Chain A
Amino acid sequence: MAENRHIGLSDAGRYEIRIEGRISPRWAPWFGGMSLTAADDGTTVLSGPVADQAALHGVLTRIRDLGLALVSVTRLDAD
């Protein structure tokens, strides 16, 4: 099985998630260790590695559950 694996959407990657409003960097552990940066336009950018698609959806669910507005989700190129 292992030799059939290839890099695809289901694998680990770095993501950038932008949400509306200002979120304190203290929330970083809650979002699976992604770092939080305040952008000039009043949005907050969560960025960092995500283990797989399930983990990414986990972060998105937490954003939803806090009633935060999602602006964009971007996959960053692999290093």
Chain B
Amino acid sequence: MGPLLTTKLHVPRRRRGVVARSRLGELLGRGDEAALTLVSAPAGFGKTTLLTEWLAGAEERSIAWLSLDERDDDPVVFWAYLISALQTAVAGVGSSALAVLREPHASMDEVLASLINDLDAVPDDVVLVLDDYHVITARDVHERMALLLERLPPHVHLVIATRADPPLPLARLRARGELVEVRAADLRFTTAETARYLTESMGLALNAEHVAALDARTEGWIAALQLAALSMRGRDDVAGFITGFAGDDRYVVDYLVEEVLQRQPDDVRDFLLQTSILSRLSGPLCDGVVGGDGGTTMLERLDRANLFLVPLDDRRHWYRYHHLFADVLQARLLAERPESIPELHRRAGDWFAENGEPAEAVRHALTGGDPERAADLVELAMPAARQNRQETTLRHWFSQLPEHVLRGRPVLRAGYAGAILVHGELDGVEEHLREAERWLDEIGVRATGGAGAEDAVVRAVRSQVAVYRAAQARLTGDLQATTRHARRVLELAGDDEHLVRGSAAGLLGLAYWTAGDLDDAHRWWTESSAQLRRAGHHSDTLGVSIALADIALARGRLREAETVHRSGLTAAFRHGGSVLRGAADMYVGLSEVALERNELAAAREHLAASAALGDGAGLPQNRHRSRLATARLRAAGGDLDGAVDLLDEAEHVYVGDMFPDVRPIAAVRARMCLARGRVDEAFDWAGKRALSPEDPLSYLHEFEHATLARILLAQHELSGDPTCLTRATELLERLRHVAQEGMRTGSVVQLSVPLALAHRAGGDVPRALATLERALTLAEPEGYVRVFLDEGQAMTSLLEVLATREGTRPYLRRLLAAGPGPVTAAAGRQALVEPLSARELDVLRLLDTDLDGPDIARRLFVSVNTVRTHTKNLYAKLGVNNRRAAVRRGRDLGLLTAAGGRAVSTAVVP
């Protein structure tokens, strides 16, 4: 985001002489119980004034105000302002969300989720007012506003003032009693209010008849009454004015503005008309548009005369006209001096361009009908807008530039393609890229070795086009073309274009990774990391670290994965005061390494460290990756139910990144189903994925195929059907062969384990032992433990056979000592970081009875409070929060004998 206009975040100043409107105050007061208060009425109905007065009179609560304008019709800009407005009310709220918003390619869902999280934690009532919401047309914004409303914590209230009902689920809110509405009929002045306003606020000496006439003519429309009062001030013949006004049938505002303008001196009139094209006014800007140097004085004069000028800041530096008044003035300008308008816009545009507001300059050039100038300005504004991620704004500008202006402007063509691609869309991209390429071809023919500056432009466009071609190919899933274009980028880009080189190298790494060529993938990601670091994009570097670590794991290099994460972590904490985004991901990665080594306490600590950093310190993927890691840890501790819950969450928050999804959450869940004995469910998953043991194999689907093989093994165990076993064995053999060819040692180990079990199930123990032996040789130097442990008793017995043969091998002894698996007592006790005390065990055993708290206390000869303390502590140690869960977990861990003679393993499945 660029700099924010803080004037938009000020609650407007209260005006003098406002008519008190207690009936509306009461109506608004009901908003405390509702999620949304909607103040919906045309311009000039006093919406803003009503809200300003209501907030000033309301009891203690935090107030956030945002005056929207048309530039906010861009998701990034909108949310940045909305969060900044909230921060004026509650310090620090949404700062993670703002951090996410600043990242390239941030997910808006993540921004929203993080913001809602923060709002949940705010202790006090918060009122958020969005004024002039009708300027928002972007569907993206409306959809997420609807989501925000849906999940709004009860202590947060949204107030929307608008001229048109917003496309939010109003009917649903109304039905639930979550909507308070103040509409035009409510806002119109009653006759009594009209009388009070004219005689008391405006100090006009009017009789009841006059008031009635004005009331009837204006129908309680406040803006009209204000104009009428302005026209009557200082007039001798008030009665005459009223008679004339009441007897006229012209549009009220038209008639009154005419009256007001007629009574202004020529210079004021001229000033008003000429500056009506401005959406905000300052003295210097007005001087730029009108000429001369009287702008500041004139604005003060208008302000004093109450001529519909709204101050935007406390220093009275920036103002705007009341919207309705501005429209009328502009319409008059258009009718009276249409030829002057382009020139006025040109001057305004020049002023904004000179004063560092290119966006405003572009707007004036476009409105003033000078697309050539607009195109020049867009070209200038493009780098900053892109850096601030105002892609929607950029795209909006591009779309307003006519085709003939884009012709011969390759920089804009390429930029247009980029602005579309960044939204993940392809429509129009081909056309723009082709036009840019045609220009490049022509240049190539015309000039060889031209002027230096020209050369730089050509080079920049050429590498830009190649970057977008590669992105386009990636979006269409064309790996070959992605590789081709990315290589071309590397040929074209200068040695110092680190960001471009880093991105291109990343695309190559991605393509090779997806294809399962991990050596080349590793090489390109390493290059990408180095370039991104040189470009100063440290957060992106951490994203690359995740790729490098994942690749290291697939290659069976646990120690390398650990090193990558550790150095990522060092980098994350080295830069500036705040922790880099991606730091949380590094901890999650370390926890996965620790889990593989069966260092459960360490794994848990890493996950806690990741969580403590907060969402803002994680890349978008971390939200599901951290849950996946926690789920695996829970499963390792025997809590399969809890693990599955987390997988559900992980799926819910899943954000697809560019990385190949080599370990889909659904497949992990299928494996958990197997562990819980729910083979049918796992089988359903395989059916939905249309997986077959005869499929051609690829790295991309390796995990899923291995899961299928495990399902087949489980089916064989249940049914004794030999075909299942044969198909599983053959599939695993093929998978392992392909993994070996691809030098994916990690995969080889992971596949050898079920393969050994398959051989054992087929009665071929020597082959099972040979397979396992090879896996152990590969796994030992890296310290893999969990992969063997997770298989339970069958694996333990194989390991024991090996141990009797080579009893002194320390690795084997370590594996056996670690225990045969999660559902047995040995592994279970180990899974508790802090074991239960003898007393806590006593309490746990009594929780597994029908005794209530006081009974348990009596049985143990302690007070009820002591039982409560023990219960609280043992819940914490077991990681549960109710009695039933504690008992279940106790059984899973072997701390309790299964009641009623049920087998321990069935206790896992409720």
B250 surroundings in chain A (CB, below 8 A): 21-24
Counting CB contacts under 8 A, is B254 at the interface?
yes
Q: How far is the CB of A23 from chain B (nearest CB, A)?
A: 5
Q: Which residues of A contact B44 (CB under 8 A)?
A: 67
Please tell me if the beta carbons of B163 and A27 are within 8 angstroms of each other in the complex: no
**With A42-B249, A67-B324 as contacts: A30 and B334 at CB distance below 8 Å:** yes
Chain A neighbourhood of B249, CB < 8 A = 21-22, 42
B762 at the A interface (CB under 8 A):
no
Q: Could you say which of A26, A28, A62 contacts B327, with CB atoms under 8 Å apart?
A: A62
Given contacts A21-B249, A23-B251, A29-B338, contact A65 B330 (CB under 8 A): no
Give B112-148 as 1s and 0s: 1 = Cβ < 8 Å from A's Cβ atoms: 0000000000000000000000000000000000000
- Is the contact region of chain B dominated by helix, strand, or loop, or is it mixed? helix
Q: What's the Cα separation between A24 and B334 when bound, in Å?
A: 13
Residues of chain A within 8 A of B324, CB atoms compared:
65-67
Residue numbers in B under 8 Å from A28 (CB-CB): 335
Q: Which residues of B contact A29 (CB under 8 A)?
A: 331, 334-335, 338
Complex alpha-carbon distance, A68 and B223, angstroms: 13
Residues in chain A near residue B332, CB distance under 8 A: 26
- CA A29 to CA B330, docked complex, whole Å: 10
Does B253 lie within 8 Å of A27, measured CB to CB?
no
- Given A64-B42, A67-B44, A68-B251, residue A27 in contact with residue B335 (CB < 8 A): yes
> How far, in whole Å, are A60 and B792 apart by their CA atoms in the complex?
71
Indicate if the CB atoms of A67 and B253 lie closer than 8 Å.
yes
Give the interface size bracket for B toward A.
20 to 34
List chain A residues, Cβ under 8 A from B254: 23-24, 27
Name A42's closest neighbour in chain B (CB-CB). Answer: B249
Write out, one digit per residue, whether chain B residues 308-350 have a CB within 8 A of any chain A CB (1) or not (0).
0000000000000001100110111011001000000000000
Q: How far is the CB of B269 from chain A (nearest CB, A)?
A: 16
Contact with A along B7-38 (1 / 0, CB 8 A): 00000000000000000000000000000000
* A30 and B164 within 8 A (CB): no
Task: Judge whether A65 and B335 touch: CB under 8 Å.
Answer: no
Cα A19 to Cα B561 with chains together (Å): 71
User: B330 — which chain A residues lie within 8 A by C-beta?
Assistant: 30
- Per the bound structure, the CA–CA distance linking A29 and B45 in Å amounts to 26
Determine if A67 and B42 form an interchain contact, defined as CB atoms under 8 angstroms apart.
yes
Given the complex of chains A and B, what is the CA–CA distance between A21 and B252 in angstroms? 9
How far does the Cβ of B897 sit from chain A's closest Cβ, in whole Å? 73
Chain A residues near B323 (CB, 8 Å)? 65
Closest partner residue, chain B, to A67 (CB atom): B42
Docked CA distance A66–B251 (Å):
10
> Do B164 and A64 touch across chains, with their CB atoms under 8 A apart?
yes
Specify which of A22, A30, A64 is in contact with B335 (CB 8 Å cutoff): A30
Contacts of B43 in A (CB 8 A): 65-67
Residues of A with C-beta under 8 A to B251: 21-24, 66, 68
Q: What is the distance, in angstroms, from B904's C-beta to the closest C-beta of chain A? A: 67
| Shortest Cβ gap from A33 to chain B (Å) | 10
Q: Does B221 contact A (CB under 8 A)?
A: yes
Complex: chain B residue closest to A57, CB-CB: B137
Interface centre among A26, A28, A65 (most CB of B within 10 A): A65
Give Cα distance in the complex from A64 to B330, angstroms.
16
Closest to A44 in B: B251
Contacts of B164 in A (CB 8 A): 64
In chain A between 3 and 44, which residues have their CB closer than 8 angstroms to a CB of chain B?
Answer: 21-24, 26-30, 42
Q: How far is the CA of A22 from the CA of B44 in the complex (A)?
A: 19
**Chain A contacts for B331, CB-based, 8 A:** 26-27, 29-30
- List A contacts of B45 (CB < 8 A): 67
Q: Which residues of the partner chain A approach B253 to less than 8 Å between Cβ atoms?
A: 66-67
Residue of B nearest to A64 (CB): B163
Alpha-carbon distance A65/B41, docked complex (angstroms) = 10
Say yes or no: B334 contacts A67, CB within 8 Å.
Answer: no
CB distance from A25 to the nearest CB of B (A): 9
B338 A65 Cβ-Cβ under 8 A:
no
List chain B residues, Cβ under 8 A from A30: 327, 330-331, 334-335
Tell me the smallest distance from the CB of A60 to a CB of chain B, in Å. Answer: 10
Chain A's closest residue to B341 (CB) is A29
Cα–Cα, bound, A29→B334 (Å): 6
Give Cα distance in the complex from A28 to B336, angstroms: 11
Which residues of chain B have C-beta atoms less than 8 A from A67's C-beta?
A: 42-45, 221, 223, 253, 324
A residues near B163, Cβ cutoff 8 Å: 64-65
Chain B residues near A64: list those with CB within 8 A: 42, 163-164
CA distance A61 to B497 in the complex (A): 47
> For residue A42, which residues in chain B have a CB less than 8 angstroms away from its CB?
249
- A26 to chain B: which residues have CB within 8 Å? 331-332, 335
How far apart are the CA atoms of A42 and B323 in the complex, in Å? 26
Give the nearest-CB partner of A23 in chain B.
B251
Q: Which A residues touch B327, using CB under 8 A?
A: 30, 62, 65-66
Report Cα–Cα, A72/B43, bound state, in Å: 20
CA distance in complex: A26, B258 (Å)? 12
B544 to chain A, nearest CB (A): 40
Query: What distance in Å separates the Cβ of A20 from its nearest Cβ neighbour in chain B?
Result: 9
**A65 neighbours in B (Cβ, 8 Å):** 42-43, 163, 323-324, 327
Q: Which residue of B lies closest to A30 (CB)?
A: B331
Within the assembled complex, what's the spacing in Å between the Cα atoms of A56 and B840? 75
Instruction: Name the residue in A22, A30, A66 with the highest tally of chain B Cβ atoms < 10 Å from its Cβ.
Output: A66
Complex Cα–Cα for A39 and B254 (A): 18
| Chain A CB within 10 Å, residue with most, of B251, B253, B330, B335 | B251
For A21, the chain B residues whose CB sits under 8 A away are 249-252
Q: Indicate with 1 or 0, residue by residue over B805-827, a CB within 8 angstroms of chain A CB atoms.
A: 00000000000000000000000
A6 to chain B, nearest CB (A): 20
Q: Which residues of chain A from 59 to 79 have a CB within 8 Å of any chain B CB?
A: 62, 64-68
Closest CB in chain A relative to B680 CB, distance in Å:
49
Complex CA gap A26/B164 in Å reads 26
**Which residues of A are found within 8 Å of B335, using beta-carbon distances?**
26-30
1/0 contact trace for B884-904 toward A, CB 8 Å? 000000000000000000000
**Taking CB as reference atom, which chain A residue is nearest B42?**
A67
Q: Which residue of chain A has its CB nearest to the CB of B223?
A: A67
- Whole-angstrom CA separation of A21 from B44 in the bound complex: 17
Considering the chains assembled together, what is the distance between the CA atoms of A28 and B334 in angstroms? Answer: 9
A22 to B327, CA, bound (A): 17
Nearest chain-A residue to B248 (Cβ)? A22
* Interface positions of B from 140 to 175, Cβ below 8 Å from A: 163-164
Within 8 A of A (CB), among B380-427: none
Determine the distance from Cα of A23 to Cα of B164 in the docked complex, in whole angstroms: 22
- In the bound complex, residues from chain B placing their C-beta under 8 Å from that of A62 are 327
CA–CA, A64 and B43, complex, Å: 8
**B464 CB to nearest chain A CB (Å):** 26
A22 CA to B253 CA, complexed, in Å: 11
A24 to B249, CA, bound (A): 11
Q: Kindly report which residue of chain B lies nearest to residue A60, judged by CB atoms.
A: B164
Question: What CA separation (Å) do A28 and B42 show in the bound complex?
Answer: 21
A24: chain B residues at CB < 8 Å are 250-251, 254
Q: Tell me the bound Cα distance from A65 to B164 in angstroms.
A: 10
B163 and chain A: residue at smallest CB distance: A64
Q: What are 9 A-B pairs with beta-carbon distances under 8 A?
A: A21-B251, A24-B251, A27-B254, A27-B331, A27-B335, A42-B249, A65-B43, A67-B45, A67-B253
Listed in ascending order, the chain A residues whose CB lies under 8 Å from chain B are 21-24, 26-30, 42, 62, 64-68
Given contacts A26-B331, A27-B331, 5 further A-B contacts (CB under 8 A): A23-B251, A24-B250, A66-B43, A67-B223, A68-B251
Task: Name the 7 nearest CB pairs between A and B, nearest first.
Answer: A30-B331, A67-B42, A26-B335, A29-B334, A22-B249, A22-B250, A23-B251
